[in-house]
Amino acid sequence: MPETKVKKDEDFNEWYNEIVELAELCDKRYPIKGMNVWRPYGWSIMQNIDNLIREEMSRTGHLEVYFPLLIPESLFKKEEEHIEGFSSEVFWVTHAGENPLEEKWLLRPTSETAMYPIFSLWIRSHSDLPLKTFQIVNTFRYETKQTRAFIRVREIHFFEAHTCHKDFEDAEKQIKEDLEIAERFFQKLSLPYILNKRPEWDKFAGAYYTISIDVMMPSGRTLQLGSIHQYRDNFARPYNIIYEDINGDHKYCHQTTYGMSERILGAIIGIHGDNRGIILPPAVAPIQIVIIPIIFKGKEEIVENKCKKIKEILDKIGLRTLIDSRDITPGSKYYDWELKGVPLRLEIGPKDVENKQVTAVRRDNFEKIQVKENEIKEIIPEILGLISKNLFDKAKKLLDNNIKKFENIEDAKNKTGIIQLPWCGREDCALKMEEELDVKTLGTPFMEEQCNLNCPICGEKAKNWVRLAKTY
């Protein structure tokens, strides 16, 4: 079987670069670095990911909005910490035709400063709350580091939910709901993750606190797929988002956001893929089942008819299927669809027709399964479920094997993956750990774990564990 030139376990980053091109997910030849072209197949997967997000949003009563791409400088500048966090990354629009603009505009790096002045007009009374909105749009950040398809780009396909609440407690309930959304959503993508409360010095600009959703990539680096922010009233004050409560008093709203990006696709490619190509979780595969007719002279028609019949059965139960009737060898077809990560392949030849069965081949482990025609409706969805589960279990093993606890710096040196150390809670101690181990602070485990040891830097009693890793 043909395999990639670069092997995944030999040079993960090169393998990743090769696979996104071979599987025709994006085209990196667009002449602005970090702004890639989504090819139809890649875009189709991303749309399926977006649809899963939309399902979750609809289930939890979030309404979809679409705000303009351009933000006037004056609005952007209202929240001080926020500007500081983003000012080095924004693209500015300074001219309209030949004429300099009276006020500069920027391309949204995220949409707080576009949305919140309008929220302040929409929200009048407690009956307008909670306000739960989201949008799926492109955002722009000027990356100076090396770009990488879906993982580090300058035009980012982005999901952002923004909510307003009557008080801190109600906003906290939203955070809880966000965590439940993440659990359901990432389960469907077979992506196990860890939650980290980001350190004070590296939380989202303007947030009260930030929780990051991080996954483990096979390179030993973590990839942040999403973040959930509690803003308290930090944005409501400068943007004047005020409501009248039941007693007629005027109060500032409390706000939260939840962001995720096309990095999710990067994680799916990197974590599930192998040397034959990408492997898609059935939930987002544009084609979940590809049917390959195995043609022998004189038996063409009965095989083709059988393929159509099987496709009809599968279409009826809502599965996304395709019959590959191209005039090339079955072997070439296997190669193409393995590269593109189609979770299940059905081979149908004269023998299968005779025996009233199909031969199913799993993409995740290449197991061959004979399925009786009259059991297809039940068995095929079951196999797809097993594929999702197997992908999840493998990814979970990768994650678990890469979380390593140490008591002192010496032992933690030259280790890959996520390093957990006892921590007193002081910034300078964490920064010292970063420096000694050449890693970044992910934060403290969101579900706090007791730690009775001492901080290996200052020797004081640890408050918590801190997680550090090399990151993308």
Q: Does 225 bind Zn ion (CB under 5 A)?
A: no
Q: Starting at the edge strand that comes first in sequence, how are the strands of the sheet with 344-348 ordered?
A: 321-323, 289-293, 344-348, 357-362, 368-372
Select 213 or 424, whichever has its Cβ closest to Zn ion: 424
Whole-angstrom distance, CA of residue 231 vs CA of residue 119: 15
Select 236 or 455, whichever has its Cβ closest to Zn ion: 455
Q: How far is the CB of 402 from Zn ion (least distance, A)?
A: 24
User: 298: which DSSP letter?
Assistant: T
Q: How far is the CB of 427 from Zn ion (least distance, A)?
A: 10
Which of 83, 242, 379, 458 binds Zn ion (CB under 5 A)? It is: 458
Q: How far is the CB of 439 from Zn ion (least distance, A)?
A: 16
User: 343: which DSSP letter?
Assistant: S
Select 331 or 459, whichever has its Cβ closest to Zn ion: 459
86: which 2 tokens? 């983003």
Q: How far is the CB of 455 from Zn ion (least distance, A)?
A: 3
- CA distance to 95, 104, 113, 154, 246, per residue, from 92 (Å): 9, 7, 15, 14, 43
Which of 191, 260, 278, 457 binds Zn ion (CB under 5 A)? It is: 457
Helical pair 376-401 and 263-272, crossing angle rounded to 10 deg = 90
Whole-angstrom distance, CA of residue 369 vs CA of residue 377: 15
Select 302 or 453, whichever has its Cβ closest to Zn ion: 453
CB 215 within 8 A of CB 222: yes
Q: How far is the CB of 454 from Zn ion (least distance, A)?
A: 8
CB 338 within 8 A of CB 277: yes
Q: Does 287 bind Zn ion (CB under 5 A)?
A: no
Write b or e for each residue in 205-233: b if 16 or more Cβ atoms lie within 10 A of its Cβ, otherwise e: bbbbbbbbbbbbbbbebbbbbbbbbbbbb
Q: Going residue by residue from 404 to 443, which x/- string records binding to Zn ion, judged by CB under 5 A?
A: --------------------x-x--x--------------
120: which 2 tokens? 């302040």
Q: Going residue by residue from 304 to 343, which x/- string records binding to Zn ion, judged by CB under 5 A?
A: ----------------------------------------
Q: How many residues touch Zn ion (CB under 5 A)?
A: 6
Select 231 or 423, whichever has its Cβ closest to Zn ion: 423
Select 313 or 458, whichever has its Cβ closest to Zn ion: 458
Q: Does 455 bind Zn ion (CB under 5 A)?
A: yes
| Binding residues vs Zn ion (CB under 5 A) | 424, 426, 429, 455, 457-458
